[in-house]
Amino acid sequence: MPRPFRELRERLLRAGVAPRHVRRYLAELADHLADLVAEEQQAGRTRAEAESAALARLGEMDDLARAMTGQRQFQAWCVRAPWVAFGLVPLLALAAAWFVAFFILWSGWQMFLPGADTPFGAGPNYGFANLYFQAGKAIYFYAPLIVGWGIALIAARQRLKIIWPTLGLALIAWIGGTGQVLAGRTTVPGGLGHISMEFTLGPSVHGISGGLIHVLVILSVTGLPYLIWRLQKSLSPST
């Protein structure tokens, strides 16, 4: 990609233009530039002269940027409504993933441990049943990380300021670190009670420090790669 286009890309992304619009704009500009260079060369210019003339004909950087940034319809939704992109959507994504995990836990309990008072601890450790429970467990534990990485990826692609992604990551880390599932059976003399499952936020069975460590682990694992990327980007001479 020619240097002026790299600068234009950074400028458009920082101004909030959605990456897909930036990508298409730059692709078409590159094609147009190639046509202009060919035309200038046919007119008898050398390659260097043709490239210089073609870039001048394509337009000033300010004009090319303003033509895109002046239209609100090209703005990314995470710029228009950051509270949705970094608050509501991650929460909904986490809720959806945990709903799947709870369903696996509940259905596994019904299918593989019909008489057990709890699905935790005394679960089967062999075959398909074990695989079934482990899948639910993996979804439950990795969902906050995947959602956090999603937040970081969107923020990095859009070159966003750090405040919104940080808030989003902190929210997900807090919920991911303090969320817990309580599962048991109601007591019925001489028979099996109903299955009861609850989700709560608060100190875990390992105490406040255990929950805090979990929060910090999620925040570090999701936030550190993003912070390192930002640092590299700010030190890079090309941007």
Partner 1 sequence: MASRVSNPSFMNGVPELLILRLLEHEEMYGYEIVQAIQDRTGSVISVGEGVVYPVLHGLEQDGALTSRRKSIGGRSRIYYSITSAGSRRLADLAQSWTGLAGAIQQVLAGGPNAQAIP
Interface residue with partner 1, options 6, 23, 47, 57 (CB under 8 A): 57
Closest CB to partner 1 among residues 24, 206:
24
* 43 binds partner 1, rule: CB under 8 A: no
Going residue by residue from 65 to 94, which x/- string records binding to partner 1, judged by CB under 8 A? --xx-xx-xx--------------------
Q: Check residue 23 for interaction with partner 1 (CB under 8 A).
A: no
- The span from the CA of 129 to the CA of 108, in Å, is 7
Q: Give the length of the chain.
A: 239
The rounded distance, in Å, linking the Cα atoms of 78 and 84 is 7
Packing angle of the helix pair 127-157, 89-112 (nearest 10 deg): 180
Distance in angstroms (rounded) separating the CA atoms of residues 90 and 114: 34
Contacts of 109 (CB under 8 A, 6+ apart): 116, 119, 183, 195
Name the residue nearer to partner 1 (CB basis): 60 or 122: 60
Q: Please, what is the minimum distance in Å from the beta carbon of residue 88 to partner 1?
A: 24
Q: How far is the CB of 237 from partner 1 (least distance, A)?
A: 25
User: Which residues of this chain interact with partner 1, rule CB under 8 A?
Assistant: 21, 24-25, 28-29, 31-32, 34-36, 57-60, 63-64, 67-68, 70-71, 73-74
